[in-house]
Amino acid sequence: MKKIGILTSGGDCQGLNAAIRGVAKALYEEAGGDVEIYGIQNGYRGLIHGDYKKMKQSDFSGILTIGGTILGTSRQPFKEMRVIDNETSIDKVKNMKDNYRKMGLDCLVILGGNGTHKTANLLSEEGLNVVSMPKTIDNDVWGTEMTFGFQSALNIATQVIDGIHTTATSHGRIFIVEVMGHKVGWLNLYAGIAGGADIILLPEIPYDIDKIAEVIDKRERAGKQFSILAVAEGALSKEESAMKKKEFKVARANMKYPSISYKIAEELGDKTGHEIRVTVPGHFQRGGSPCAYDRVLCTRFGAAAARLIMNEQYGFMVALQNEKIVPVPLGEVAGKLKKVPVDCEEIRAAKDIGISFGD
Ligand code: F6P
């Protein structure tokens, strides 16, 4: 009898249930029904506090198309994992190991992004059997060309830009669409290209507000009455990029705008004399049903994770590389961020067709 625990951790995204279903169904198939699955509630929090339940095989049916996660999720910062709570004296790592043993698990399946993988690696180093799957709309997990959730969120963000395009054209207006992604700009880069944005601002390429104003001015002189800016949540100016990390944090904390897009809108408005509208789809980008691509990717990831478990190959994340699903050691994934390389082919193509990156 194999005993497997599953948890989903960090910000949710489309495809979590599809991936849970994938690994569970493949385990039931491969183990000939001789498997017990424990659903750990709300990510690592459930593992710390012993909040889990034995799942039935039927729990994994009918969830392929459902957004969110049937297990719930939470953010448990990695940097606090080894900190003993003063009031409760809870030793989080010890509790997680104790609960793993209490359930009698053969393996813990962890679905998560960057922060989640640091803790997954910690648990693996602490002697637990761990297999993980890369999820996030940001597509910034090291070691995989694609995370699940990205393509679904991309479809939504692109639809938002498409919708803004028509109203921007009718009114001859300048619009900013703010796309999720604090540290990396994959989602905004792809949505910006797919939605035909004129200017794309990424965290990886600090912008110069004067350059952006020049682009808008040039478009106007060419008879183009509207402009669309796709701005990543984490876009930053050249001045901000020159700041020390702490100084930048303070500057952002004291910023009078709800997000960077509003600051850009005001500054650009002053420079161009136009009123600039901002649209922020926010968490809507993470919601709803996974797209067909993600459903397939989650099924492939899930089946590959089950295969690793059946072969007792632990300490790996399943990843997409060169169109194949491969295992990548957790130690190689943890603590790294897959940023957009500024010389990547996508940026080059975008620049070739005249898209500005504000640099
Ligand atoms: O990591 C996924 C993500 O949606 C990012 O794109 C975004 O910056 C962040 O999570 C938002 O975090 P929260 O859900 O905690 O508001």
Taking the centre of ligand 1 as the mean of its atom positions, its distance from the CA of residue 167, in whole angstroms, is 28
* Ligand 1 atom nearest to 75, measured from its CA: 15
Closest by Cα among 156, 153, 182, 160 to 279:
160
Residue 73 Cβ contacting ligand 1 at under 6 Å:
no
Calpha distance 355→199 (Å, rounded) = 6
* Ligand 1 atom nearest to 138, measured from its CA: 6
Write the residue with the smallest CA distance to atom 10 of ligand 1. Answer: 11
* Ligand 1 atom nearest to 182, measured from its CA: 8
Residue 220: pLDDT band with limits 50, 70, 90: very high
Across residues 127-146, what is the average pLDDT? 98
With beta carbons less than 8 A apart as the criterion, state whether 56 and 28 touch.
no
Residue 5 Cβ contacting ligand 1 at under 6 Å:
no
- Amino acid 132: pLDDT: 98
Q: pLDDT (tens digit, 9 = 90+) per residue, 284-322?
A: 999 999 999 999 999 999 999 999 999 999 999 999 999
> What amino acid positions are annotated as catalytic residues?
138
Across residues 4-27, what is the average pLDDT? 98
Write the residue with the smallest CA distance to atom 12 of ligand 1. Answer: 11
Residue 70: pLDDT band with limits 50, 70, 90: very high
With beta carbons less than 8 A apart as the criterion, state whether 337 and 140 touch.
yes
Q: What is the residue-averaged pLDDT of the chain?
A: 97
Please give the share of the chain, as a percent, with pLDDT higher than 90.
Answer: 98
Q: pLDDT (tens digit, 9 = 90+) per residue, 203-213?
A: 999 999 999 99
- Amino acid 329: pLDDT: 98
Q: pLDDT (tens digit, 9 = 90+) per residue, 177-191?
A: 999 999 999 999 999
Residue 178 Cβ contacting ligand 1 at under 6 Å:
no
Residue 137 Cβ contacting ligand 1 at under 6 Å:
yes
- Amino acid 85: pLDDT: 84
Per-residue DSSP letter, 44: H
